[in-house]
Amino acid sequence: MLKLTTGLALAGAVAFAAAAEAREIKVGFIAPKSGGAAQLGDQMEKGARLYLKLHAKELGGDTIKLIVRDSKRPGGPIAKAAAQELITREKVEILTGVIFSPNAMSIAPLVTAAKVPFVIMNAGTAFITNMSPNIARVSFTMWQAGYIMGEHAAKEMGCKTAISGYTNYPPGKDSVAAFARGFEGAGGKVVDSIPMGGPREAPDFTPFFQRVKDKKPGCFYVFVPAGNHAAGVAKTYLSLGMRKAGVKLIGPGDITQDTQLQGMGKAAVGVITAHHY
């Protein structure tokens, strides 16, 4: 998934920087290289480098220098500082990468002022592309997975009621709004929506999930950010016996991401998600 996304991003980015004479084009690449989402950042970088290797002869003699900076975690300051350094000191012609929406949002004013193209490979909050005329996105928005999961839960899974739980920041709010639109448009009813802390550290999900179990909805839609949160979601769902209580766990693919599935074990069995590929 990330290989396709990064390839498309770089293809579009190079088009922005086309030149008459062969030259080196600097591309600033911002992604988590440490912390809970480091695996995703690593996948994204590998996809970008693979695309450049496979398509090197298609660049008209130009070469691409990928300059990587670590955004570490969700939250704007580190990513913003990295973008500022790439623009002002490294003189990059394009910025790309970015897993987390708050990071992309913090970068938006910088690329507007510098008139540098910013091609987002992942960050999925819908309105980010409206924050600057210099932003394009080649991945997805939270609405695509959330809305279709809502429709599917109501029409195909027999859920009459649902509760949503979400990490309380822009993509989480986007995701549950999309789910509610799809679910209620298909005849279901969202009876509660629970913010479950911020994106930096995975919380203890037990009190939130117990609240859901006590209300006995047909489905429990959960959004958490990419990284270590997903394992906590599945394990808490299993430990509280929510499946046996008749509560179906659903969500976007963030809660069943490939890098976390093996560690979830039996806790992931029966979880249904919608995602882009």
32-60 pLDDT, tens digit per residue, is 999 888 988 999 999 999 999 999 999 88
pLDDT mean over 246-266: 89
Q: Residues of the chain with pLDDT > 90: what percent?
A: 75
Same domain as 7, residue 128:
yes
Please provide the average confidence, as pLDDT, over all residues in the chain.
91
Amino acid at 218: G
Same domain as 108, residue 191:
no
pLDDT mean over 213-235: 91
Strongest mean pLDDT among 27-41, 189-203, 206-220: 206-220
Same domain as 95, residue 63:
yes
pLDDT mean over 83-109: 97
Same domain as 164, residue 125:
no
Sign of CA dihedral 51, 57, 62, 65: positive
Q: What are the tokens at 229?
A: 């949160």
Q: Which CATH number covers residue 75?
A: 3.40.50.2300
- At residue 9, the pLDDT reads 60
Residue 240 C-beta-side C-alpha neighbours within 13 Å? 24
Same domain as 125, residue 159:
no
Owning domain of residue 248: 142-274
Q: Residues of the chain with pLDDT > 70: what percent?
A: 92
Cα distance between residue 135 and residue 111, in whole Å: 8
- At residue 24, the pLDDT reads 95
- At residue 201, the pLDDT reads 84
pLDDT mean over 101-116: 97
Same domain as 91, residue 66:
yes
pLDDT range class, residue 266, cuts 50, 70, 90: confident
pLDDT mean over 106-120: 98
Same domain as 18, residue 46:
yes
Let me know: does 271 contact 250? Beta carbons within 8 Å: yes
Structural domain tally of the chain? Answer: 2
Domain boundary among 137, 171, 202: 137
Same domain as 242, residue 219:
yes
Let me know: does 163 contact 184? Beta carbons within 8 Å: no
pTM score, two decimals?
0.86
- At residue 264, the pLDDT reads 84
Same domain as 170, residue 259:
yes
Domain boundary among 98, 118, 137: 137
Cα distance between residue 95 and residue 116, in whole Å: 7
